[in-house]
Amino acid sequence: MKKTAIFYGSSSGTTEDIAGRMAGQLGIDSSDVYNVGEASVDDAAAYDVLILGSSTWGVGDLQDDWEGFLPKLKKADLSGKAVAIFGVGDSSSYSDSFCDAVGVIYKELQGTGATFCGAVSSEGYSFDDSVALEGDKFVGLPLDEDNEGNETDGRISRWIEQLKQECLNG
């Protein structure tokens, strides 16, 4: 497996928990899992694959720690790196901006040289709109622990298998 790190922003602990669960399934050491509130962009330079995670707050806002980290990551040269994005959101209360943070990160990192992987079909999700959509696919993995928590483990497992095919191995 290519050298992989997970970078996440978490206010309530949910995204941190998801990042830890993913790391466990991937066999990623805890030293390769970074809270973006404490990480530097230099930390990302050592990795081939960056798995980025953020919750969505309010009506489509990034988790607070990403506000300082994402502009710096956007300025980095990510050529040769694969980027996969996951997000946590509430598809019931915020149905019109479900997991928008995934789309915000994706759009901000366009032009950095990164290759994106991990797009997921929107089939099976209940929501009205999301900036994370391109056609009928999300640009990353959306998760809803509030309303569809029973789907999370299966969605994570399928996504990790997809990432292994698309960008982790090789």
pLDDT of residue 72: 95
Q: In this structure, are residues 160 and 106 in contact, taking their beta carbons and an 8 Å threshold? A: no
Show me where the domains of the chain are located.
4-168
Residue 73's pLDDT is what? 96
pLDDT at 14: 94
pLDDT at residue number 170: 64
Domain 4-168, second-level architecture? 3-Layer(aba) Sandwich (3.40)
The tens place of each residue's pLDDT in the chain, 170 residues long, gives: 899 999 999 989 999 999 999 999 999 999 999 999 999 999 999 999 999 999 988 777 888 899 999 999 999 999 999 999 999 999 988 889 899 999 999 999 999 999 999 999 999 999 999 999 999 999 999 999 999 989 999 999 999 999 999 999 86
Buried b (16+ CB within 10 A) or exposed e, 38-61: ebebeebeebebbbbbbbbbeebb
Sign (positive or negative) of CA dihedral 160, 74, 95, 23: positive
CA distance 135 to 117: 16
pLDDT value for 138: 97
One-letter amino acid identity for 103?
G
Asked if residues 36 and 7 have their Cβ atoms less than 8 Å apart, the reply is yes
Paired residues of 87 in beta bridges: 54, 142
Q: Which residues pair with 116 in a beta bridge?
A: 83
Cα–Cα distance, 147 to 15 (Å, whole number)? 15
